[in-house]
Amino acid sequence: MLLGHIALLAVTLSLVSGANAQELDPAQLYVEYCSVCHGDQGDGRSRAAGSLAKPPRDFTSAEASILTRDQLVHAISNGIPGTAMSPWKEQLSPEQIGALADYLRDTFMRSAIVEDTTAGQRIYAEFCSVCHGEQGDGKSRAAGSLLPSPRDFTSAEARNELTRTRMIFSVTYGRANTAMANWGEQLSKEEIEATVDYIRRSYMNISQADEARLAEAAAAAEAASVEMMTEHDHSMHGEVGMEAPFPAHLIGDPVWGKDFYVKNCAHCHGEKGDGQGPRAYFITPKPRDFSHPAARASLNREMLFDSIALGKTRSEMPAWIHVLTRQEIANVAEYVFQAFIYPEELRAMAEGNAEAEAVDGQSLQQPSLTPTAGN
């Protein structure tokens, strides 16, 4: 009989507790479910923090300011794999979870979310964090399924390798053989630059003063390189259009070039120039995809000539200057240029744009076909 009364009391207390949980306001919800790890002030400084392999989120930090409401709701509902953050969707209703997310933003993240949040910060949170991670370290939920892994902007390698110009180019045109898409059609030039600047300041710790020094050093290196060149100006050091000729006034023969390409280059680069040749599967890094937006934005005749002649270090692309004459290299480059980089449909489009702009009295512009330095 006594056991029966105890069981009834336990059930009654459980029901009362459940009813009270439904009535908890967001502040009470936070105290009840979150503060044990995230701390009373939302700064991650709790008694439990020291025993956790990965520290609890500090909602008052600048890093937390990029989190959207939807991201918070998702994390509360489903938890975060590899951390002590467990899913709460079985204990809390969608309304409670939404109210809790709003409480976090209004109470703890308000100091980090300034009213004039930069466009770069907003765009990174919306478009970039899904792969590169909320903290720019490449540790995202999607990272495990991506090969190669997303760039870790917090690493020393990123700071040493990535110039501002190269990053703008990569965001605009994407990176071939990676999950990095070309955002130039969705984002404006100003939005892309703002996003790159946000990444460099927030995750790569490059201040405006550092940026100025880096730009000055790059300009000095470019000037020195140009001064040392005797045969021809190298297009990698500036912006040139698709009309740039081969060095030494060479004129390429695309018919000869096609025959050589099919016999010697298609095995890696593919008959369609898409980098999907029969040997491509076994090659790392992958052969160049000439149809990729990044290739079409950076490879004119001059750069193709240099790439074929000099090859590419740490890859299977040989230096053909030891096998072919300069004229023969120009022949191959001309075929690649006409067939894949600037094919007939693009030329027709450019001519159509030129005619339309001529009617309007405007000058011809082809920004998508203009090579950009830094890639």
Element housing 370 (H / E): none
Q: Give the pLDDT score at 355.
A: 62
Q: Give the pLDDT score at 62.
A: 62
51 token code pair? 């025993």
Q: Give the pLDDT score at 314.
A: 81
Does 114 reside within a domain? no
Q: Is 335 within 8 Å of 258 (Cβ atoms)?
A: yes
Does 29 reside within a domain? yes
* Overall domain count for the chain: 3
| Pair (151, 206) in one structural domain | yes
From the number of C-beta atoms within 10 Å of its C-beta (0-12, 13-18, 19+), residue 178 rates as middle
Distance CA 148, CA 156 (A): 18
The single-letter code of the amino acid at 314 is R
Q: CB-based contacts of 161: which residues, under 8 Å, 6+ apart?
A: none
Q: Give the pLDDT score at 110.
A: 58
Q: Give the pLDDT score at 155.
A: 93
Distance CA 152, CA 57 (A): 19
274 token code pair? 């898409």
CATH number at residue 170: 1.10.760.10
| Pair (362, 241) in one structural domain | yes
Does 177 reside within a domain? yes
C-alpha dist (Å) from residue 355 to 56, 242, 341, 351, 359: 60, 18, 22, 6, 6
- Residue among 281, 283, 267, 289 nearest 336 (CA): 289
Q: What is the CA radius of gyration of the chain?
A: 28
Start-to-end C-alpha separation, the chain: 81
- Residue 304: give the domain boundaries: 235-369
Does 80 reside within a domain? yes
Does 227 reside within a domain? no
Q: Is 266 within 8 Å of 288 (Cβ atoms)?
A: no
Longest dimension (CA), the chain: 105
Q: Give the pLDDT score at 17.
A: 42
Determine phi and psi for 190, rounding to 5 degrees. -65, -40
Q: Give the pLDDT score at 2.
A: 38
State the Cα angle at 187 between 162 and 139, rounded to 5°: 50
Q: For the whole model, what pTM was predicted?
A: 0.52
Q: Is 289 within 8 Å of 273 (Cβ atoms)?
A: yes
The single-letter code of the amino acid at 342 is Y
Q: Give the pLDDT score at 229.
A: 40
Low-confidence ranges of the chain (pLDDT < 70): 1-24, 62-63, 65-66, 110-117, 218-240, 347, 349-375
Element housing 313 (H / E): none
Determine phi and psi for 38, rounding to 5 degrees. -85, -5
Q: Give the pLDDT score at 19.
A: 41
| Pair (207, 254) in one structural domain | no
Q: Is 167 left (phi over 0), alpha (psi -120 to 50) or beta?
A: alpha
Does 3 reside within a domain? no
Does 284 reside within a domain? yes
Q: What is the DSSP letter of 230?
A: -
